[in-house]
Amino acid sequence: MTQAHRPLVVEPDQLQLHIGDPAVLTVDLSQGAVHGQYHVPGALHLDYDQIVTQRPPVMGLVPEARLLADVFSTLGLTPDTHVVAYDDEGGGKACRLLWTLAVLGHRQYSLLNGGLHAWVNENHPINNGAREHRPSHYPLEISSDPIADLAWIKEHLHDPRVTIVDARTPEEYSGADLRTQRGGHIPGAVNVEWTRAIDQKRHLRLKSEDDLRTLYEPLGVTSDKQVVVYCQTHHRSAHTWFVLRHVLGYPLVKGYPGSWSEWGNSADTPIE
């Protein structure tokens, strides 16, 4: 797995060959207690709360660049570091980290396919020791390219070149499950719950590319569109962003930080 040939989706067998590689930083976004029990050897734990910020009732926003710079410098991240992310929940938190790296212009990253579930259930080595690492100084600048904010979405609501994907449950999408002042969904959004992209029979790996195309394309989620993904806080939808952008190779995919926690709590946003 040379620098030029590091896949965006890494299998456990591939990662095991690179345990101890100083050019690869494995980041574990599992719960702290789980990480303390077992993790990929050498993986550093990152608390999910460190890569999001809250302005209640709006949640899941992007922290200021200086705060993220502190987080990634503490991890020892450098411009040449290749990050492999995983978690214990199917990839939502790990993909939010990868989306954040994309926002910050760091393009060298991969998702561990199946995360901790695949790693442990397929008998790869685990440990509960801490990895020694040297903090770095990593200046970061936030780019708007992977981001769609509330104003951008309102401006493009009726643009036929834009497709909006709601990664929440069908109950949240319909408004039956109310988690904000108002229920429903962004007008025109199609509902594809994020877990439908996960193969439950293969230790929470991603489904095949053919199965994923069959899931999204009939709903108009196609590679010729600008796609915007959202959920409640752009946690679950970060997984959808990764699937569309890096598994299916869609060139134009944006995530909506804040997501429904912002849209559903705003008085002047249209709702279906």
Query: Catalytic residue numbers?
Result: 231
The amino acid occupying position 179 is R
Alpha-carbon span 225 to 205, nearest angstrom: 26
Alpha-carbon span 102 to 68, nearest angstrom: 13
Contact criterion met (CB below 8 Å) for 3 and 82: yes
Buried b (16+ CB within 10 A) or exposed e, 137-176: ebebebeeebbbbbeebbebeeeeebbbbbbbbeebbebe
Tokens for 114? 């199946």
- DSSP assignment of 43-59: PEE--GGGG-EEETTEE
For residue 188, the tally of other CB atoms under 10 A from its CB is: 17
Contact criterion met (CB below 8 Å) for 184 and 271: yes
Contact criterion met (CB below 8 Å) for 190 and 221: yes
Alpha-carbon span 71 to 87, nearest angstrom: 18
Cβ-Cβ contacts under 8 Å for 42 (sequence gap 6 or more): 19, 20, 26, 131
